[in-house]
Amino acid sequence: MNLTLFRRDFLQNKLLIIIIAAVTAMYSIVVISMFDPALGESLELMMESMPDLFAAFGMTNAGNTLIEFIANYLYGFLFVLLPLVLIVIVTNKLVVRPQDKGTLGWLLATPVSRSKIAVTKAVTLIYTILLEILWILLCCIGASEILFSGELDIQRFLLLNSGLFCLLSLFGGICSCSGCIFSDSTLGTGVSSGICIAFVLLQMLSQVGEETEWLKYLTPLTLFDSTSIAQGDFSVVPILMLLLASIFFFGMGIFVFCKKDFSV
């Protein structure tokens, strides 16, 4: 790993990270402030009026506890989609765009080895994802303690975010691998973002009804069951599967980067 390259790549994305962090904080505070078990009946009526819409976004059960409410209304969709946008754009800036602009050729001409460059860029992306997770933790715990002191189950909430980190790392691995395989920025970004968005859409469709439930087997989002984690009824095996898959894709991306002919 090269620290100079790491600092340069990370600072190039600081504005985007700040924007996503601000949006994340806003949604965290707004949604958590809406928690009120007494409003459960009203939410049920809203769900009954638009069952397919609520089901698609994983909001079929508001829950009786704060962590269940957060898991359903934030981790079912918003905290998957917002970091995904960050991952796609950061990966494009780290891997794909330098190939188009020719700056990658200049970087490869330096004494820094290809393996160090590839590992540094992978670590930069993982570090960005980790920062986003830590920011989510800070925002949600802070808002919960201010608005509903002592209501949030911290232990389960940490497990919930560990699962989210593994899922987002898988998305990061897929995007990084795609960026290393394809030299064209449009193709590299299009394939990776298309795959990840397809996973999200398949998950949404699988939750609409029994006819489409089988689609859940086609997306890794099924392995991140935020509701089960919030309720304490879950297994660590799916989370470990996400982690292993992310390691595989990051490793594949590094391998391709080290072997690829960038002069073509």
pTM of the prediction? 0.87
Residue 83: predicted pLDDT: 92
Flag residues of the chain having pLDDT under 70.
Answer: 37-63, 101-102, 185, 209, 262-264
Dig out the tokens for 61 from the structure: 């059960």
Q: For residue range 101-136, list pLDDT tens digits in order.
A: 667 777 777 787 888 888 999 999 999 999 999 999
Residue 63: predicted pLDDT: 63
224: left (phi over 0), alpha (psi -120 to 50) or beta: beta
Residue 53: predicted pLDDT: 47
Q: Secondary structure of the chain in the HEC alphabet?
A: CCHHHHHHHHHHCHHHHHHHHHHHHHHHHHHHHCCCHHHHHHHHHHHHHCHHHHHHCCCCCCCCCHHHHHHHHCCCCHHHHHHHHHHHHHHHHHHHHHHHHCHHHHHHCCCCCHHHHHHHHHHHHHHHHHHHHHHHHHHHHHHHHHHCCCCCCHHHHHHHHHHHHHHHHHHHHHHHHHHHHCCCHHHHHHHHHHHHHHHHHHHHHHCCCHHHHHHHHHCHHHHCCHHHHHHCCCCCHHHHHHHHHHHHHHHHHHHHHHHCCCCC
